[in-house]
Chain A
Amino acid sequence: MGAQLRLLRRRINSVRSTAKITRAQELIASSRIVRAQQRMQAALPYEREITRAVTGVVSNAASVDHPLTVAKDNPARAGVLIVTSDSGFCGGFNANVLREAEALRGLLEGRGLAVTPFVTGRKGVTWHSFRNRDMGGSWVGFSRKPSYADAKEIAAMLIESFKDENGIDEIHIVSTEFVSMLSQNVVVKRILPLEVEETEATESTTIPPYFEFEPTAGDVLESLLPRYVESRIFTALLQSAASEEAARRRAMKSATDNANELMRVLTQQMNQARQAEITQEISEIVGGANALADAAAGKE
Chain B
Amino acid sequence: MVIAKTVDGEIGIMPQHAPVLGVLVEGGVLRVKREGEGELVAAVHGGFISVADDEVSVLAEVAELGSEVDIAAARDALDRAQASIEANQEDADAAVEAQRARARLRAAGEEV
Judge whether B20 is part of the interface by a CB distance below 8 angstroms: yes
Asked if B57 and A49 make an inter-chain contact with CB atoms under 8 angstroms apart, the answer reads yes
Q: Which of B29-37, B46-54, B71-79, B102-110 lies on the face that meets chain A?
A: B46-54
Asked if B59 and A56 make an inter-chain contact with CB atoms under 8 angstroms apart, the answer reads no
Q: What 13 additional pairs, Cβ within 8 angstroms, besides A212-B20, A213-B21, A227-B59?
A: A50-B48, A50-B59, A52-B57, A53-B59, A56-B21, A206-B53, A212-B21, A214-B8, A214-B22, A215-B8, A223-B23, A224-B48, A227-B61
Q: For B62, give the chain A residue with the smallest CB separation.
A: A148
Chain B residues, CB < 8 A from A130: none
Best-buried of B19, B21, B52 by chain A (most CB within 10 Å): B21
Q: How far is the CA of A248 from the CA of B48 in the complex (A)?
A: 38
Asked if B19 and A214 make an inter-chain contact with CB atoms under 8 angstroms apart, the answer reads no
Chain A residues, CB < 8 A from B6: 214-215
Chain A residues, CB < 8 A from B19: 56, 209-212
Chain A residues, CB < 8 A from B21: 53, 56-57, 211-214, 220
Judge whether B18 is part of the interface by a CB distance below 8 angstroms: yes
Please pick, from B48, B53, B61, the residue contacting A220 in the complex, using a CB distance under 8 A.
Answer: B48
Judge whether B65 is part of the interface by a CB distance below 8 angstroms: no
Q: How far is the CA of A209 from the CA of B50 in the complex (A)?
A: 11
Judge whether B11 is part of the interface by a CB distance below 8 angstroms: yes
Judge whether A127 is part of the interface by a CB distance below 8 angstroms: no
Which range contains the number of A residues in contact with the other chain?
20 to 34
Chain B residues, CB < 8 A from A52: 50, 52, 57
Q: For A213, give the chain B residue with the smallest CB separation.
A: B21
Q: How far is the CA of A215 from the CA of B9 in the complex (A)?
A: 10
Asked if B52 and A214 make an inter-chain contact with CB atoms under 8 angstroms apart, the answer reads no
Which range contains the number of B residues in contact with the other chain?
10 to 19
Chain B residues, CB < 8 A from A57: 21
**Which residues of B line the A interface, CB within 8 A?**
6-8, 11, 18-23, 47-48, 50, 52-53, 57, 59, 61
Asked if B61 and A56 make an inter-chain contact with CB atoms under 8 angstroms apart, the answer reads no
Judge whether A200 is part of the interface by a CB distance below 8 angstroms: no
Asked if A49 and B59 make an inter-chain contact with CB atoms under 8 angstroms apart, the answer reads yes
Chain A residues, CB < 8 A from B50: 49, 52-53, 56, 211
Q: For A215, give the chain B residue with the smallest CB separation.
A: B8
Judge whether A219 is part of the interface by a CB distance below 8 angstroms: yes
Give A108 Cβ to nearest chain B Cβ, in Å: 32
Q: How far is the CA of A51 from the CA of B81 in the complex (A)?
A: 35
Chain A residues, CB < 8 A from B18: 212
Asked if B20 and A214 make an inter-chain contact with CB atoms under 8 angstroms apart, the answer reads yes
Give B27 Cβ to nearest chain A Cβ, in Å: 15
Query: Which of A49-96 touch B at CB < 8 Å?
Result: 49-50, 52-53, 56-57
Q: For A148, give the chain B residue with the smallest CB separation.
A: B61
Asked if B59 and A46 make an inter-chain contact with CB atoms under 8 angstroms apart, the answer reads yes
Asked if A214 and B11 make an inter-chain contact with CB atoms under 8 angstroms apart, the answer reads yes
Asked if B52 and A211 make an inter-chain contact with CB atoms under 8 angstroms apart, the answer reads yes
Chain A residues, CB < 8 A from B23: 214-215, 219-220, 223-224
Q: How far is the CA of A211 from the CA of B23 in the complex (A)?
A: 13
Can you list 25 A-B contacts (CB < 8 A)?
A: A46-B59, A49-B57, A50-B48, A53-B48, A56-B21, A56-B52, A152-B61, A211-B19, A211-B20, A211-B50, A211-B52, A212-B18, A213-B21, A214-B20, A214-B21, A214-B23, A215-B6, A215-B7, A219-B23, A220-B21, A220-B22, A223-B23, A223-B48, A224-B23, A224-B48
